A = this chain, B = another copy of it.
Amino acid sequence: MPVDARRTISDLQQLRALTADDHGAQRIAWSATWLKARAWFQGLLSELPVEHHLDAAGNSWTTLPGESDRSLILGSHLDSVPNGGWLDGCLGVLASFEVLRAIAEDFHGKPPITIRLVDWADEEGARFGRSLFGSSAFAGTHTIPADRGRTDRDGIRLEEALRQCQIEVERIGDAAAERGQAGAYLELHIEQGPVLEAMQLPLGVVLGTKGVERHAITFHGQEAHSGSTPMAVRRDALAAAAKLALEIRPIARKHPDAVATMGSVKTFPGIVTAVVGRCETTLDMRDLDAGVLASMLAEARAASERFAAEEGCTVEWSRIWSIEPIPFDPRLIEFCDQAVRETAGKSHQLPSGPLHDAAEVARAGIPVVMMFTQSLAGLSHNPAENTRIEHLELAVEAFDRLARKTMHWLNV
């Protein structure tokens, strides 16, 4: 029997009613509202012949045992940013639930392979600044020494917040045991960007997650009085930074999917009557091709040094964070493309700029693909985040098709 996509939409609406306030979704990981969302979700499972448990990193696993221990994992995350939308993360969890339910019915509770549903813990990293928390523990790429002492705005340590959810930070690596005989991981997510909408397509196939280079770049010039310092003798740190803010754009535009963003500029002393003596900026560059990303970074660095020299300044770089590009599995990309075509007539393949738990799963060596559904106006992490109901319905149907194709492949 086919999936009932309207049920997924009704579930999403229920979850919104339960966990959003006037400012949007409030399912911040490790919070009471997040735990409430998870308890509600567990309630949905009660009529299914499934086993449920939390792993050592707080990921929530629901297993429908099959004839074989080989498993297909479906999932996403229930946690949200503060004042978030009604779809980011939970669409993937609730669509996976609907697919799991349909498979359980179709195979009278015993499919040929094991089907698992995962709700990853703390994808967003909204409270402690550590995103992909649970999936990185699963993948063995977790970073306990760096994360243990992280604190939230109230000074509460990550370690303490986890302990209140019965998670011991030192043991989160044990989540790797969940990999078992996983044969594939599939994730449905909203695009969170404007590409599919601009192409008037409801669905897309994700080629992988872009590599990210994230740097803090500080220009040092000379603070000076805005009234008494002639233009010719200024060493204006803002001027060097402004040149870089503009130059990163042609650097990115040389490549079809590359992006480069200066998201933060801080000026010191930062008053109307002083030439800027120090300018702190951030740079975020992304591309699916590691070579392209490396060359963009090198070009930006060279440009920053040239601009610093032109303005009598110096420049200093420090890496905030980086991750390599993570391409998804070619066979699964092909299945996903077929499923999208069969459901919506037309497909489009695109890289994901935002990171997702799927990237961590791929790092564990498990074949992975993601499906995107259109986001209206590209908005996400925002209560205005939205997708047309008919597109959500197509997404659940196409995701079901993808799961069936993958199940069949794993069973051969």
Contacts and interface: CB of A to CB of B under 8 A. Distances in A.
Interface of A: 191-195, 198, 210, 212, 214, 224-233, 238-239, 241-243, 245-246, 249, 252-253, 257-267, 269-276, 279, 282-284, 286, 320, 352-355, 378, 380-381
A233 B270 contact: no
Nearest to A131: B273
B265 A238 contact: yes
16 contacts: A192-B225, A193-B229, A214-B272, A226-B263, A227-B286, A227-B352, A228-B352, A242-B243, A246-B246, A261-B272, A263-B274, A264-B267, A264-B272, A265-B266, A265-B267, A266-B266
Nearest to A209: B227
Contacts of A378: 224-225, 228-229, 233
Q: Which of A192, A227, A232, A258 gathers the greatest number of chain B CB atoms within 10 Å?
A: A227
A149 to B, nearest CB: 21
A84 to B, nearest CB: 13
10 smallest A-B Cβ distances: which pairs? A227-B353, A193-B228, A226-B261, A242-B242, A242-B245, A228-B353, A272-B282, A227-B354, A264-B270, A226-B284
B193 A225 contact: yes
Contacts of A355: 227
A20 B302 CA distance: 45
Contacts of A272: 214, 261, 263-264, 282-284, 320
Contact of A231 (B214, B249, B267, B354): B249
A242 B242 CA distance: 5
A291 to B, nearest CB: 19
Q: Which of A253, A265, A354, A378 gathers the greatest number of chain B CB atoms within 10 Å?
A: A265
B249 A246 contact: no
Contact of A271 (B249, B259, B264): B264
Contact of A230 (B194, B212, B232, B381): B194
